[in-house]
Amino acid sequence: MSIRRNILGRRRAEEALRENEQHLVSIYNTVGDVIFHLAVEPEGQFRFVSVNAAFLRVTGLSLEMVVGKSVNEVIPEASLAMVLEKYRQAVQENTIVRWEETSDYPIGRLTGEVNVAPVFDSTGRCTHLVGSVHDITERKRAEAALRESEERHRTILQTAMDGFWVADTQGRLLDVNESYCRMSGYSAEELLSMRISDLETLETAAGTAEHIQRVVAQGEDRFESRHRRKDGSVFDVEVSVQYKPGENGRMVAFLRDLTEHKRAEEERNSLQLQLAQAQKLESIGRLAGGIAHDFGNLMSVILLHVDSALEDLKSGDDATESVRAMQEAAERAVALTRQLLASSHKPVLETEVLNLDSVVAECETMLRRLIGEDINLTFIPGSGSALVRADRGQLGQIIMNLAVNSRDAMPQGGNLILETSSLELGEAEARLNPAAQQGSYVMLAVRDTGAGMDQKTQARIFEPFFTTKEVGKGTGLGLSMVYGIVKQIDGFITVHSEPGHGTQFRIYLPRVRETPEPVFAAEAAPMQRGVETILLAEDEPSLRDKVRELLASAGYQVLAGKDVEEVIQIATQRQGPLDLLLTDVVMPQLSGPQLAHRLQPVHPQMKVLYMSGYPDPRQPNSGLAPDADFIQKPFTKQKLLRRLREVLDEHATLKGKPALGNERL
């Protein structure tokens, strides 16, 4: 007997189950998240039953390396302890456990959100764990990058030179950086309890509120303002602000401290005015230099004729006194010209042994006209030796500048006292001033009863372009030039002043024990003679003729040219030697140095003595070398002959010839 049972329905159910399982396996292997199935073994170990394709993809492991293996064999050792702890927690507490985990696998580092859930049998015992891992590696990397970016921006804002604010639309400060704290003197905690209106000085609180509304409406603004520091002082700022709309609208502002910029701008404007004034003085100085050149030529002619007249006159002749008066007037004219050139910053630099008392006395008449009748001028000469080695014009410039400075300090009149004295500085006294050294000095004191100066002003008075006078009334060069001249003579200067009690300058110059040589000889000295051949180049006819005459009378053979072309022609046609070229520095067509350079190949042994009436012939564009032999116009007969003899004797000594005279200037 056979029993037949209809199993068609069961087969259909089995097929449906298989189809459903295949569908689940397909989903299991195609889902993006990692899925794994673990068996919970009695001894508390965990073994992989299955994993999906995503597990193998993100870990870089093969199916054989995972399925059937213990968790201890698959999970990296660095993460194993934490993973086992979480698995055991899920089993013991019968709950889903979630955590974040970062593990290193062959394919790279994986950071994921892990979920593990227990699976129970019919008795309620946990026999399996099912877990999933959502890869958050990129999200974590982005979060880390965002944090790093935010920290970097915060660091930049905190260390920026400019100040930084964040404020709400009510003007409350929400954030500030360290730079603004330094600018304002407030701490960050203090500023975060304040409003913008607490710091603004150019606007009222209502005005600041209106300004904030304008920024909100237009989105941004840029303006200059002034803020108040914690100590009450104010400072200029440039503000650049933007409004960031949103649920809680914010204003972000950068603030630049303009204090140094404003100060630099004021100094630049002041320097431009001073430069214009200095350029004006330079133009005047150039004009004075040109006048001095022509005046030097004329005075040289006058003085040379006076010398000749005195030689021709017999002792006791009635005309002798008249000629000597002419000589004295000429000497005073030369001294006056030097003083004018000194005040125009065009000094004639000729150092010599001078009596400081005599120089002050020479300046006294000019000073009285310069300072005005409402100032009483007194000169008190010292009793000791007042000999110094310096340039007469520079000493006059020191006296003039200090006198003008005192005059300007006494607009209502007062007393100006000039006093000289001789003194010895010992080691103890010299230590009181860094510029001083032990030794003998001549001191010139210039005292006034003017307004005086405070300590802050005294500290800067010798700086170039520093002046306390109003714009257009001074260049700030006078005292700086005094300081420079004194240093050049190896001296030093001190100043003592108090507001309302006048000022006293003391100039200390090294004292010398040499005998001073008069500028012009009162008596005819023995003539310095010679036999050499002199080539004379001078474009002023009267001076050329007189110099040729006196050189010839002194025994020299003189060849003179009225211009550069004639001088060159004479030199090239000359068969015999030319011992010396006496030439003006500035002439039409060619300068003296250019002329000497042109003649050098023809007469290589020829010496050169330059002469000029310009106060600064050695300026860079003149072509005159610093060590060139030179004589300043105007000169006397004796001075020219001595200087000429000095140059020729040096030449003769170098050649091994006997000197025809060795008297030096």
Report pLDDT digits (tens) over 16-57: 555 555 545 555 665 668 888 899 887 778 999 888 888 888
The pLDDT value given to residue 19? 54
Band (pLDDT 50/70/90 cuts) for residue 580 is very high
Q: Summarize the confidence of residues 540-550 as an average pLDDT.
A: 87
Task: Work out the average pLDDT over 181-186.
Answer: 89
**Angle (CA) 243 246 250, round 5°:** 40
Confidence of residue 186 (pLDDT cuts 50, 70, 90): very high
pLDDT confidence band for 291 (50 / 70 / 90): low
pLDDT of residue 617: 60
Selected residue with higher pLDDT from 370 and 663? 370
263-275 mean pLDDT: 71
Mean pLDDT of the chain: 78
Q: What is the mean pLDDT of residues 211-237?
A: 90
AA letter at 62 = S
Position 540 scores a pLDDT of: 85
The string of DSSP letters for 285-345 reads: HHHHHHHHHHHHHHHHHHHHHHHHHHHHSPTT-HHHHHHHHHHHHHHHHHHHHHHHHHHTT
**pLDDT for the residue numbered 453:** 85
Q: Please, which residues have CB within 8 angstroms of residue 396's CB and are 6 or more apart in sequence?
A: 338, 339, 342, 343, 359, 362, 363
pLDDT at 662: 32
218: tokens are 């237009």
**Is 520 a residue whose pLDDT tops 60?**
no
pLDDT score, position 338: 60
Q: Which residue has the higher pLDDT, 83 or 337?
A: 83
Q: Note the pLDDT tens digit of each residue in 629-647.
A: 888 888 888 888 999 999 9
Most confident of 26-35, 55-64, 225-234, 402-411: 225-234
Lowest-confidence region among 24-28, 422-426, 478-482: 24-28
* Coil, strand or helix at 662: coil
* Domains along the chain with CATH numbers: 18-140 (3.30.450.20), 160-257 (3.30.450.20), 347-524 (3.30.565.10), 533-654 (3.40.50.2300)
The residue that leads in pLDDT, 663 or 352, is: 352
What was the pLDDT predicted at 582?
94
pLDDT-derived band at 557, boundaries 50, 70, 90: very high
Compute the average pLDDT of residues 420-439: 80
Percent of the chain predicted with pLDDT > 70: 74
**What per-residue confidence (pLDDT) applies to 418?**
92
Confidence tier at 661 by pLDDT (50, 70, 90)? very low
User: For residues 216 and 235, what is the distance between their CA atoms, to the nearest angstrom?
Assistant: 26
Widest Cα–Cα separation across the chain: 191
More confident residue, 17 or 292: 292
Provide mean pLDDT across the span 241-248: 84
pLDDT confidence of residue 473: 46
Query: By three-state DSSP, how is residue 160 classified?
Result: coil
Higher-pLDDT residue of 516, 393: 393
Q: What is the pLDDT of residue 581?
A: 93
The tokens of 477 are what? 């060069």
Query: Would you call 553 exposed, middle or buried from its count of C-beta atoms within 10 A (0-12, 13-18, 19+)?
Result: middle
Distance of CA 525 to the CA centre of its chain: 56
3-state secondary structure 450-467: CCCCCHHHHCCCCCCCCC
Contacts of 130 (CB under 8 A, 6+ apart): 35, 36, 37, 38, 116, 117, 119
Predicted local confidence at residue 472, as pLDDT: 42
pLDDT exceeds 90 at position 599? yes
For residues 555 and 577, the answer to whether their CB atoms sit within 8 Å is: no
Question: How far is residue 627 CA from its own chain's centroid?
Answer: 33
pLDDT at position 339, please?
A: 54
Q: Report the range of poorest mean pLDDT among 41-55, 106-120, 304-318, 394-408.
A: 304-318
Tell me, what's the pLDDT at 591? 86
End-to-end CA distance of the chain, in Å? 164
Distance CA 430, CA 426 (A): 6
- Specify the pLDDT at position 654: 46
- Residue 151: per-residue pLDDT: 65
Q: Half-sphere exposure of residue 418, counting CA atoms within 13 Å on the CB side?
A: 27
pTM over 0.75: no
What are the structure tokens assigned to 659, written together?
Answer: 């000197």
Per-residue pLDDT band for 526 (boundaries 50, 70, 90) equals: low
The pLDDT, as a whole number, for residue 447 is 92
Six-digit token string for 399: 């006296």
Confidence of residue 230 (pLDDT cuts 50, 70, 90): very high
Strand duo 580-584 + 607-612: pairing: parallel
**Cα radius of gyration (the chain):** 50
